[in-house]
Structure 1
């Protein structure tokens, strides 16, 4: 065998070995990347706050949260399962068909309309238990968003209602976000915050208010995504 032939064989062997190495690396990456890049589908089960009442579609809670998650590089798709005027009973009545097979996680933000109607705390609790049971049966992690009760129903009612969310979150090992509107209601200048970040009805956030809510809630949603993987 001549010198040039030996060089050719060496080059052929080196090239072949390099190809084998590349294939091995690609196979290793293929085994690990899908788990990181897997798209997570999140259903946001809620009322008018979730639905985006009074706002252009693109400025509502779900679209703004979707944009925030995308900006963080999170591979997630949100489903707007908010219905204006819905109570915890309404959420329970439709949770079964909300939890389709492609839903990997769920945000539950219900209870505000229960408060407006003065529904007994034990009734609201039972409805939320039904929702959490449905999610648990499907193996879907949940973030439970609280709604602090006002004082006008009395201290006993408030204490009973406010306890629902942290207690159920602990019981079902769900994430707990204390209050949907906390990013607005906890600001020092409450009057100024209401004027800038709430709609004239004083109940629903403006587009700027939604942006504050999303910024505050976003990290918890990222944790929910992590749990769903």
Structure 2
């Protein structure tokens, strides 16, 4: 992304807001006989389901960018990553733990719940909403560090990935630089893989974002997924 495009995107962030909405109905059950299922086919279904549950988990933990704001979940970049994993013969389950409006403080409070299930890879995408609300960056850094520490303490072998973000230029050059350096420094300090800028080649580009000019649309999500995949893929193993 050019500096001009990045600045356009960052300026647009100032007017951003985040909303989470979801609903769904459980499908009605049908008998095995109605579907022509035998005991053998039922056993196969149970085995397949069990294998899926036993797959190592990749947890994406973030805000509306991770949640796929404004789109069906299938178009979110974590879902795009699941498609890549399945098509390339990897055996991982992607978990989208994105929550619209989430701050680093909120993520720090929520992380224990997310860690109830084992994980092999943890991708942390938070911080953008801290900037929008003008939070002190010392608190942002402490919260991000605490989340990474909590995950590693619970699962010592976990592979950590940190998704970098950018602050809008109206916050001032010093603030913008300090915010960028949080991710760079934490990646070294906590020994995590780093995505330099999650929205590279997407932020500020009208055709790749929803009408709010902040959240990626379907095409933008594909590019974001590629940004993530470049860093994530070397951490995965084919099984």
TM-score by length of 1: 0.76
CA distance in 2, matches of 1:85, 1:219: 26
- Count of residue correspondences: 183
Q: Give the equivalent residue in structure 1 for 2:76.
A: 60
Q: Give the equivalent residue in structure 2 for 1:133.
A: 149
The 3-state SS of whatever aligns with 1:53 is coil
Contact 1:74 1:222 survives alignment (8 Å): no
CA distance in 2, matches of 1:60, 1:50: 7
Is 1:196 aligned to residue 195 of structure 2?
no
Q: Give the equivalent residue in structure 1 for 2:61.
A: 45
- Which structure: larger Rg? 1
RMSD: 1.6
- Written as runs of structure 1 = structure 2, the 5 A alignment for 1:79-228 is 79-138=95-154, 139=156, 140-185=158-203, 194-226=205-237
Cα displacement (A) at 1:219 = 2.6
Contact 1:44 1:78 survives alignment (8 Å): yes
- Written as runs of structure 1 = structure 2, the 5 A alignment for 1:60-79 is 60-79=76-95
CA distance in 2, matches of 1:76, 1:200: 33
List runs of 5+ in structure 1 lacking aligned partners. Answer: 1-37
Cα displacement (A) at 1:40 = 2.3
CA distance in 2, matches of 1:68, 1:203: 25
Contact 2:66 2:78 survives alignment (8 Å): yes
CA distance in 2, matches of 1:197, 1:84: 19
List runs of 5+ in structure 2 lacking aligned partners. Answer: 1-53
Contact 1:47 1:110 survives alignment (8 Å): yes
Q: Give the equivalent residue in structure 1 for 2:30.
A: none
The 3-state SS of whatever aligns with 2:89 is coil
Cα displacement (A) at 1:121 = 1.0
The 3-state SS of whatever aligns with 2:210 is coil
| Runs of 4+ that moved beyond 4 A | none
CA distance in 2, matches of 1:215, 1:162: 21
Cα displacement (A) at 1:70 = 1.5
Cα displacement (A) at 1:223 = 2.3
Deviates more, 1:70-79 or 1:125-134: 70-79
CA distance in 2, matches of 1:195, 1:156: 28
Cα displacement (A) at 1:100 = 2.5
